[in-house]
Amino acid sequence: MKKDGQIIIIEDDQDDGEILKEVIDDLGYDNEVIILPDSTLVMEFLKKAEVAPFLIFSDINMPKMSGYELRDLVLADPDLHDKTVPYIFFSTASDPETIKTAYKKAAQGFFTKITDYDEYKSVVKKIIEYWKAAKVPDKD
């Protein structure tokens, strides 16, 4: 994980992706924020040499490939797995089975999408600050 690396938002709903980006921008972090609306293109993007993500925020319910399926692909890829990039699920679903499945996929967090902007900002700030302070293994 590169703490000044990109924050990747995997979200098929354009409005939801833009709101999360706006929240991160409003918090004043220098990390580049990238929205990927098509989950089937994420693996190719993450494998680019110039991509060194800090965090991944992923929706679960997406067409073509779910967030769960995508997470499985990331975990199965040794190069991506070794990058130690926190994978956070944001979803409208909040039933116990959905949450349990997310953590079975080795997610580093599960959060329900929040409609109150200030509360959303507070939650995102806590997530980012936690991972900025966390110690993780270096790949080098």
pLDDT above 80 (res 137): no
Predicted local distance difference test score (pLDDT) of residue 139: 55
Indicate whether 37 pLDDT > 70: yes
Question: What is the C-alpha separation between 47 and 136, in angstroms, rounded?
Answer: 20
What is the mean predicted confidence (pLDDT) over 24-44? 94
Class of the 7-133 domain?
alpha beta
Instruction: Report the alpha-carbon angle 16-19-22, nearest 5.
Output: 150
CB 112 within 8 A of CB 91: yes
- Would you say residue 72 has pLDDT above 50? yes
What band does 140 get if pLDDT is binned at 50, 70 and 90?
very low
The region of weakest confidence among 4-8, 48-52, 58-62, 115-119 is 48-52
Confidence category of residue 81, pLDDT binned at 50, 70, 90: confident
Helical pair 14-26 and 117-133, crossing angle rounded to 10 deg: 60
Mean pLDDT of the residues in the chain: 91
Q: How far apart are CA 34 and CA 8, in angstroms?
A: 5
Residue 120 neighbours by CB under 8 Å, 6+ apart: 19, 20, 23, 114
d(CA 44, CA 49): 11
The confidence score (pLDDT) of residue 136 equals 78
Between CA 139 and CA 82 the distance in angstroms is 7
Q: Could you tell me the residue ranges of all domains in the chain? A: 7-133
pLDDT digit string (tens) for 93-122?
889 999 999 999 999 999 999 999 999 999
